[in-house]
Amino acid sequence: MDLTLPADLRTIAQKLALAGEECYLVGGALRDRLMAIPAHDYDLATTAKPAKVVEIFEKVIPTGIKHGTVTIIMPGGQYEITTLRADGAYKDGRRPEAVNFISKIEDDLARRDFTINAIAYKLPSGPLCDPFGGQPDLKAQLIRTVGQAEERFKEDALRILRAARFMAKLGFEIVPETYKAMQKLAPLTAGLSKERTAQEFCLVLTAPQATKALNLFKKIGLIELLWPELTAISAWEECLNGLAGLPLERTLRLGHLFSYLPQEPKSLAERLVLPAKERNHLIALWHILRAAPPQGIATEREFIAQNYSLIPDYLALFRGPESLRTLAERYQSEPLYNDKNLAIKSNDLMELCALKAGPALGELRRYLLEKVWENPDLNEREALSVLAKNWAQGITDES
Ligand code: ATP
Ligand code: MG
């Protein structure tokens, strides 16, 4: 079987073999390679205990040594390697506290979520170990829990969201037993941390079949339960149709979703644990998408100048009867709308005019930009210096 794997994996397996240990490729990367799609994040499993892994490899990071995970740094990249383990008892649907290290790969595969994720490939050259029928399910494009579905979701309710994630990512169907258990046990997801649910939500949102999984979330009551702000979207179908046409880019897709919300999307942004910068961008975008679009050259210019960094997303997400072609053209053809393209640096302005960073500097930059919009020839250092010095002395056209 030719899985075309990175050369580093062979090296890692050989080093472990010399120490009498086994090494397997597991998880999503193996699943993806079996489907002949490009893989990222090669997860490895080994019989070696974490301390031994640390000893064998020169460059390692003890990522999650308590759970048996070490990151090995190799010439071609980084690889997470986890000691074979059988998870102990789950408490309240959370990760087990105790970890039992074991020596049989089959037992490690048994703790994994879905059959398509519970296959192992013995490195460096096989064979495959597939005790739960992962390969036939991959062929038939089915998502099925390893073992009894209800039991597995009770152990960890995140798996309910993960099933939807793989549906969105791979376009697979969920088998009836697994689906019924998801429906029945959906309320258990209320006990998950917002960090975990937010991560799955964003993975779903940026997957090729996002709409399929979002509809599933809605159908089994997860939207109401986990992201209740989204129940305020009245044009759900239209919103999802629009989503399907967008690039798989998180901020853009969130911007689209948010633009259907009647209220400022503050609490949803918080629920999704977005970084402050992305959250502010999205809230500002929400405001301009919901306002009347600018009309006429003067207001368009003003609008671009005020919202410069939001304009690409604004243009990509704007829905309305009016065409924004002129705005797009103006944005693209008049680079001076980007305040960064002013031919003089803030530092130089501060020195020239004995200014400190603050509102006055902003005012001066704005004054210079407006001059440059009137007459683009003025955008060179010398001319701007003269204008700036005059401005600082109170000499302007208006005065
Ligand atoms: P992706 O390509 O989206 O990263 P993945 O299958 O690699 O998919 P990860 O979240 O990276 O998903 O997890 C790696 C592997 O660990 C999974 O394939 C699965 O075998 C196992 N796993 C992860 N989370 C769970 C869980 N909550 N319950 C059981 N097994 C899990
Ligand atoms: Mg992965």
Ligand 1 close to Cβ of residue 200 (< 6 A): no
Which residues contact residue 24 at a Cβ distance below 8 angstroms, ignoring those fewer than 6 apart?
44, 45, 46, 105, 120, 121, 122, 123, 129
Confidence of residue 135 (pLDDT cuts 50, 70, 90): very high
d(CA 379, CA 103): 70
Ligand 1 close to Cβ of residue 43 (< 6 A): yes
Please say if the pLDDT value at position 339 is more than 80: no
Ligand 1 close to Cβ of residue 134 (< 6 A): no
Nearest to 85 by CA among 61, 60, 62, 66: 66
State the average pLDDT over residues 135-157. Answer: 97
State the average pLDDT over residues 7-29. Answer: 97
Which amino acid, one-letter code, is at 118? Answer: A
Please say if the pLDDT value at position 91 is more than 60: no
Residue ranges with CB less than 5 Å from ion ligand 2: 28, 41
Q: What is the pLDDT of residue 96?
A: 62
HSE-CB for 328 with a 13 A CA cutoff: 11
Query: Where in the chain are the domains?
Result: 1-132, 141-226, 246-333, 340-392
Which residues contact residue 297 at a Cβ distance below 8 angstroms, ignoring those fewer than 6 apart?
326, 330
pLDDT digits 0-9 by tens, 68-88: 999 999 999 999 999 999 975
Distance of CA 250 to the CA centre of its chain: 6
Q: What is the pLDDT of residue 266?
A: 95
Could you identify the atom of ligand 1 that is nearest to the CA of residue 158? Answer: 27
Alpha carbon of 26 to ligand 1 centroid (Å): 9
pTM of the shown model: 0.85
Which amino acid, one-letter code, is at 45? Answer: A
State the average pLDDT over residues 298-314. Answer: 86
Q: Best of 71, 112, 201 to mutate for ligand 1, by most ligand atoms within 8 A of CB?
A: 112
Pairing of strands 85-87, 60-64: unpaired
DSSP assignment, residue 114? B
Percentage with pLDDT > 70 across the chain: 94
Residues forming beta bridges with residue 79, ordered by sequence position? 72
Query: Hey, whose CA ends up nearest to atom 6 of ligand 1?
Result: 28
Please say if the pLDDT value at position 90 is more than 60: no
- Better pLDDT: 296 or 38: 38
Alpha carbon of 191 to ligand 2 centroid (Å): 23
Long-range Cβ pairs for the range 180-187 (8 Å, 24+)? 180/149, 181/145, 181/149, 181/150, 181/152, 181/153, 182/149, 182/153, 182/220, 183/219, 183/220, 184/150, 185/150, 185/153, 185/154, 185/157, 185/160, 186/160, 186/220, 186/221, 186/222, 186/225, 187/221, 187/225
- DSSP-derived secondary structure for 316-329: HH--SSS--HHHHH
The class level of CATH for 141-226 reads mainly alpha
Q: Give CA separation, 14 vs 9, 85, 126, in Å.
A: 9, 21, 13
Mapped onto helix, strand or coil, the DSSP state of residue 128 is strand
pLDDT digits 0-9 by tens, 355-394: 888 889 988 988 888 788 778 788 899 999 999 999 999 8
Ligand 1 close to Cβ of residue 117 (< 6 A): yes
Pairing of strands 77-83, 43-46: parallel
Q: Is the separation of the CB atoms in 313 and 252 below 8 Å?
A: yes
Question: Residue 148 phi/psi, 5° resolution?
Answer: -70, 125
Alpha carbon of 28 to ligand 2 centroid (Å): 5
Q: Is the separation of the CB atoms in 165 and 129 below 8 Å?
A: no
Q: Best of 113, 148, 178, 202 to mutate for ligand 1, by most ligand atoms within 8 A of CB?
A: 113
Topology given in CATH for the domain delimited by 1-132:
Beta Polymerase; domain 2 (3.30.460)
